[in-house]
Structure 1
């Protein structure tokens, strides 16, 4: 139990060193990973059931060649794409905003350094360390989150494309 308290204290100190911006980056990260995991679970658990429903809806049609049948087929495919892309714009936005928040942390950290220099009147490294630490920690955190977000964003986009093509091929018109 003592180990857990020590780890929590280390995390608290790390967040304090990064300032308020690092806390915002942390919350953005939680939301981003929640949405990524939700999409991965959607494809693992929910989408196979929906895929079967789309196929059954199409198989129940006797007419598969008329203009109305083609419209219905397009509707099924469009509905599947909407379901698959449900939270993708938010994932993309959070991925894009992460390095910008890191940059904001860098700027606020450097302002802290300049304020310290103005107050002390010299370039005392000890006095400037907190601002430099804040600047580098937030930059690193924003970039790490963005890199992970980009990877999973691309992975999910590829899965959406593959599933869309698979569904399109499965809904035969002959």
Structure 2
């Protein structure tokens, strides 16, 4: 796993470390979503609207699903972090502020990452849906 993450800057690695495995899952899902979005835009651009909808339409539901799933994965990270926070409180009491802050930080990071990834993909998935439905309908000549 270290070899795969060596290309990331040090700050990004620290953020991934603080966010835990759920943040890594959000990163992978958003990379998949953005790869598909970029692929569809390039495909539309290269084809200039000719036979675009036949090859691109099957990928659009996957992009929309990823946009809808990403906030839930962020919420899963929040729940996981809160469980760890309650474990720290049970072990050390409420006096361990550093342990509690780490759990709260992880919860907020995963929530933010899931929402940002979803919201950033939402606009482009809507735009792609509009473009593909436009190319799927026969154009009337004036």
Provide TM-score, normalisation by structure 2.
0.87
Which residue in 1 is equivalent to 2:101? 129
Within 2, Cα distance between the matches of 1:89 and 1:13?
33
Deviation at 1:164, TM superposition (A): 2.2
- Asked if residue 88 in structure 1 is aligned to residue 89 in structure 2, the reply is no
Within 1, Cα distance between the matches of 2:21 and 2:116?
18
- Asked if residue 99 in structure 1 is aligned to residue 105 in structure 2, the reply is no
2:58 aligns to what SS in structure 1?
Answer: coil
Which residue in 1 is equivalent to 2:21? 20
Specify the structure having the higher radius of gyration (Cα). Answer: 1
Within 1, Cα distance between the matches of 2:96 and 2:30?
34
Counterparts in 2 of 1:29 and 1:37: CA distance versus 1, 3 Å: same
**What is the 5 A alignment of 1:8-157?**
8-45=9-46, 47-48=47-48, 51=50, 81-157=53-129
Number of aligned residues? 135
Instruction: Give 4+ residue runs of structure 1 displaced > 6 Å after superposition.
Output: none
Within 2, Cα distance between the matches of 1:81 and 1:19?
38
Which residue in 2 is equivalent to 1:169? 140
Within 2, Cα distance between the matches of 1:8 and 1:81?
38
Which residue in 2 is equivalent to 1:68? none
1:87 aligns to what SS in structure 2?
Answer: helix
